[in-house]
Amino acid sequence: MVPQLWKRVACTALLLAFCVISDARAANDPLPSWNEGPAKTALLEFVHATTDRDSPKFVPSEERIATFDQDGTTWVSHPMYTQVIFCLERVPALVAKKPQLKNDEPFKTVLSGNWDAIGKLSMPELEKILASTLSGMTVDEFSAEVKKWLETAKHPRYQRPYTDLIYQPMLEVLRYFRENGYKTYIATGGGQDFVRVYSERVYGIPPEQVVGTMGGTKYGYDKHGRPILTKEPKLLLNDNFAGKPEGIHLMIGRRPYAAFGNSTGDRQMLEYTTEDEGLRLGMLVLHDDPVREYAYGPAEGLPDTKVGTFTQALYDEAKKKGWFVISMKNDWNRIFSFEK
Amino acid sequence: MVPQLWKRVACTALLLAFCVISDARAANDPLPSWNEGPAKTALLEFVHATTDRDSPKFVPSEERIATFDQDGTTWVSHPMYTQVIFCLERVPALVAKKPQLKNDEPFKTVLSGNWDAIGKLSMPELEKILASTLSGMTVDEFSAEVKKWLETAKHPRYQRPYTDLIYQPMLEVLRYFRENGYKTYIATGGGQDFVRVYSERVYGIPPEQVVGTMGGTKYGYDKHGRPILTKEPKLLLNDNFAGKPEGIHLMIGRRPYAAFGNSTGDRQMLEYTTEDEGLRLGMLVLHDDPVREYAYGPAEGLPDTKVGTFTQALYDEAKKKGWFVISMKNDWNRIFSFEK
């Protein structure tokens, strides 16, 4: 080989080796949608301290687990949880199959289309709707139905598919953590099988890394004798409040090093994550941006027992325990990827 | 740079790139403990056909899931399941804490030390022992106790720690599948938290990839106010028979492409895995080697409902459905890694 050719081979091979090894380290700022401030600094310092071999807080790669709540933490949860909208929109089809439900509550209210009344349904009433619209089909049929719905359904305010309403700064955090050897999980109060349908495409998180509210399935056979799993109206685990650490243990078997949430339903997950040895990170998204998104939280004075609320007590606890409160208004220079 | 130096840089860099990219492909025979025969050929052909981009049976890497039963499939399960021995050995400590159990069955029989009588305990009696010895402690205390026990307990026949009694040919299969982009899972009827204690060290399988019989936990606080999870005597999922595909769906959310078992408890997992589109692999380990291990199976005429038995009906179904039966005697030239 002539020297010139060797030189080119050397350069190409060096480049190849370099690409393979340090692809992840190429970007200058891993969090471009974050403004400089305590939250961004905390993220960068946490990842550096737990992944630098020379750091006293170094965490071996197999133990690097980070869990992310979904509704209100990685995507929009107002005016209503996306999965609840999906379930409400399934009610007419359910009633068509089971006409006896037509005059039963809460189905009657849902069919009325009176959104004020629908918005006032109690938790047990909503659970009744969820249980009846999220069961009775095979797991494959369910996935196909969610996928189809997500392709056409639009958020009432943004007039965009729900999966467009992911927070760009959180996508950057997910990617940044993964590039630093963290295994990222969704830990949601939403249905595990619902979120699994789009988690890989939207978050880069595979179905096996989605921890959510879990329903039972029943093994059986279709009319051709092929094996199927049918979704049952049986709750195995409610992945909210104390159920979050319980679900994390069930699905992962390790305590996370970092956890992200936005409401009282995430309190125990943050507590479980941060109150152990080593460097830990807890963060809560505060919705204080009515212009670009929504504003709700401590000022509303909602009770601690309502899922999805960021109460004053949670805010005070965060300050006391060193959990970072992310201000959407001040910490994020961009909220959605479709914004320029 | 002088040409000679460029040449050396090129060679080194090429080597580096090559090492990074094709480290996994270096070994000549990925299954050296397997004799040539239909089982070994099936393994090699399956992996090649599902991972070669030009193959009509190619499976994208994110969908490559393989599940392995444990007792009798990846380690010795005779004369008794290891976890059952662990539980039986915990009975004296349990009775010391709760003396009222001393005269209650089945605890009385266990305390008698009469192994003939212990061997005849019914399934509900064994379940009573399991429930009471596997709950009441925190998940961390439980892990520590299992770890400690495994360091000293020895198998009655081999006089070695139970974790030495892993089948070397199956370790090679696990590694071979992983090197080809498969995510390997344990799918065991044994306790999920029990197997998680040693799965990473012994199988290279992290805790989050262990699917097993699942018990509930309860979130709470220790006397110092620190968050803990306590193991409850509540069964969430019995990961045997139809429970295996149900557990796989719960924990993974995808249908495996390959499944390995050895008994009627694995039948539904193999069925669920193999009876779908694409190339699928089902394999059953037949224990037919009384000299190096044990011989039990179709000849014994045990009923289909007993866990851990390889019945004639299962054997016939395997032949009919194209599931491969692995003969320990003929297909494996080495059973344990400690054998020369």
The chain B residue lying nearest A213, using CA atoms, is B250
Q: Of A59, A35, A63, which Cα lies nearest the Cα of A47?
A: A59
Q: Which of A13, A236, A249 sits opposite B17 (nearest CB)?
A: A13
Q: With beta carbons under 8 A apart, name residues in chain A contacting B13.
A: 10, 13-14, 16-17
Per the prediction, chain B carries an average pLDDT of: 92
Q: How far apart are CA B285 and CA B331, in angstroms?
A: 10
DSSP letter, residue B55: S
Q: With beta carbons under 8 A apart, name residues in chain B contacting A275.
A: 226-227
DSSP letter, residue A328: H
The chain A residue lying nearest B277, using CA atoms, is A226
Q: Are B302 and B309 in contact (CB under 8 A)?
A: yes
Q: Of B233, B200, B229, B215, which Cα lies nearest the Cα of B139?
A: B229
Q: Do B139 and A246 touch (CB under 8 A)?
A: no
Q: With beta carbons under 8 A apart, name residues in chain A contacting B268.
A: 219, 227
Q: How many CB atoms lie within 10 A of CB B319?
A: 11
CA-CA distances (angstroms) from residue A297 to A255, A300, A310, A324, A327? 28, 6, 5, 15, 11
pLDDT tens string B35-54? 999 999 999 999 999 999 99
Q: With beta carbons under 8 A apart, name residues in chain B contacting A227.
A: 245, 268, 271-272, 275-276
Does any CB of chain B come closer than 8 Å to the CB of residue A217? yes
Q: Which of B6, B210, B242 sits opposite A7 (nearest CB)?
A: B6
Distance of CA B324 to the CA centre of its chain: 18
Residues 17-56 of A with CB under 8 A from B: 17, 20-21
DSSP letter, residue A162: G
The chain A residue lying nearest B242, using CA atoms, is A219
Q: How many CB atoms lie within 10 A of CB A224?
A: 7
Q: Do B253 and A3 touch (CB under 8 A)?
A: no
Q: With beta carbons under 8 A apart, name residues in chain A contacting B252.
A: 207-208
Q: How far apart are CA B68 and CA B290, in angstroms?
A: 23
Q: Of B283, B282, B287, which Cα lies nearest the Cα of B298?
A: B287
Report mean pLDDT in 10-residue bins for chain A, 340 residues.
Answer: 59 52 61 98 98 98 98 95 94 93 94 90 90 94 97 96 98 98 98 98 98 98 97 96 98 98 97 97 95 86 69 95 97 93
DSSP letter, residue B227: E
Q: How far apart are CA B251 and CA A210, in angstroms?
A: 9
Closest-CA distance, A228 to chain B, in angstroms, reads 7
Contacts of A21 (CB under 8 A, 6+ apart): B20
Q: Is pLDDT at B141 greater than 60 in this prediction?
A: yes
Amino acid identity for residue A179 in this structure:
E
The chain B residue lying nearest A256, using CA atoms, is B208
Q: Which of B208, B217, B245 sits opposite A227 (nearest CB)?
A: B245
pLDDT for the residue numbered A281: 98
Q: Are A43 and A173 in contact (CB under 8 A)?
A: yes
The chain A residue lying nearest B273, using CA atoms, is A227
Q: How many CB atoms lie within 10 A of CB A118?
A: 20
Q: How far apart are CA A65 and CA A88, in angstroms?
A: 34
What Rg do the C-alpha atoms of chain A give, in angstroms? 22
Does any CB of chain A come closer than 8 Å to the CB of residue B204? no
Q: Give A118-127 contacts, CB < 8 A, sequence gap 24+.
A: A118/A88, A119/A79, A119/A80, A126/A84
Residues 139-168 of A with CB under 8 A from B: 139
pLDDT for the residue numbered B22: 46
Q: Do B245 and A268 touch (CB under 8 A)?
A: no
pLDDT for the residue numbered A119: 86
Q: With beta carbons under 8 A apart, name residues in chain A contacting B60.
A: none
Q: Are A248 and A256 in contact (CB under 8 A)?
A: yes
Does any CB of chain B come closer than 8 Å to the CB of residue A208? yes
Band the pLDDT of B297: cuts 50, 70, 90: confident
Q: Which of A17, A210, A219 sits opposite B16 (nearest CB)?
A: A17
pLDDT for the residue numbered A26: 44
Q: With beta carbons under 8 A apart, name residues in chain B contacting A265.
A: none
Q: With beta carbons under 8 A apart, name residues in chain A contacting B207.
A: 252-254
| DSSP string for residues in B36-48 | SSHHHHHHHHHHH
Q: Is pLDDT at B267 greater than 80 in this prediction?
A: yes
List the beta strands (DSSP E) in A152-299: 183-191, 210-221, 227-237, 258-261, 281-288, 295-296
Q: With beta carbons under 8 A apart, name residues in chain A contacting B224.
A: none
Band the pLDDT of B183: cuts 50, 70, 90: very high
Closest-CA distance, B107 to chain A, in angstroms, reads 29
Does any CB of chain B come closer than 8 Å to the CB of residue A251? yes
Q: Which of B13, B210, B226 sits opposite A275 (nearest CB)?
A: B226
Disruptive mutation site among A8, A186, A229, A269 for chain B (greatest number of B CBs within 10 Å) = A229
Q: With beta carbons under 8 A apart, name residues in chain B contacting A272.
A: 219, 227, 229
Q: Do A253 and B208 touch (CB under 8 A)?
A: yes
Contacts of B133 (CB under 8 A, 6+ apart): B86, B87, B90, B91, B94
Q: How far apart are CA A46 and CA A49, in angstroms?
A: 5
Q: Do B246 and A254 touch (CB under 8 A)?
A: no
pLDDT for the residue numbered B26: 44
Q: Which of A6, A16, A139 sits opposite B3 (nearest CB)?
A: A6
Q: How far apart are CA A66 and CA A260, in angstroms?
A: 8
What does the pLDDT average to over B114-128? 89
Q: Do A200 and B254 touch (CB under 8 A)?
A: no
pLDDT for the residue numbered B57: 98
Disruptive mutation site among B64, B193, B219, B228 for chain A (greatest number of A CBs within 10 Å) = B219
Q: Are B255 and B304 in contact (CB under 8 A)?
A: no
pLDDT for the residue numbered A297: 84
Q: Which of B17, B139, B245 sits opposite A17 (nearest CB)?
A: B17
Does any CB of chain B come closer than 8 Å to the CB of residue A221? no
Q: How far apart are CA A166 and CA A173, in angstroms?
A: 12
Q: How far apart are CA B47 and CA B58, in angstroms?
A: 9
Distance of CA A202 to the CA centre of its chain: 10
pLDDT for the residue numbered B143: 98
ipTM of the shown complex:
0.90
pLDDT for the residue numbered B63: 97
End-to-end CA distance of chain B: 51
Does any CB of chain A come closer than 8 Å to the CB of residue B5? no
Does any CB of chain A come closer than 8 Å to the CB of residue B137? no
What Rg do the C-alpha atoms of chain B give, in angstroms? 22
Q: How many CB atoms lie within 10 A of CB A19?
A: 12
Residue B233 CB burial class (10 angstroms; 0-12, 13-18, ≥19): middle
The chain B residue lying nearest A240, using CA atoms, is B219
Q: How far apart are CA B264 and CA B306, in angstroms?
A: 7
Residues in chain B: 340
Q: Are A245 and A269 in contact (CB under 8 A)?
A: yes
Q: Do A226 and B275 touch (CB under 8 A)?
A: yes
CA-CA distances (angstroms) from residue A74 to A23, A168, A173, A177, A268? 25, 8, 10, 14, 18
Distance of CA A326 to the CA centre of its chain: 16
Q: With beta carbons under 8 A apart, name residues in chain A contacting B208.
A: 183, 208, 251-254
What are the phi and psi torsion angles at A191 (to 5°)? -70, 130
pLDDT tens string B59-112? 999 999 999 999 999 999 998 899 999 999 999 999 999 999 999 999 999 999
Q: Do A254 and B210 touch (CB under 8 A)?
A: no
Q: Do A219 and B242 touch (CB under 8 A)?
A: yes
pLDDT tens string B240-254? 999 999 999 999 999
pLDDT for the residue numbered A13: 57
Q: Is pLDDT at B294 greater than 60 in this prediction?
A: yes
pLDDT tens string B143-181? 999 999 999 999 999 999 999 999 999 999 999 999 999
Band the pLDDT of B283: cuts 50, 70, 90: very high
Q: Write down the residue that tokens 């019989």 correspond to.
A: B213
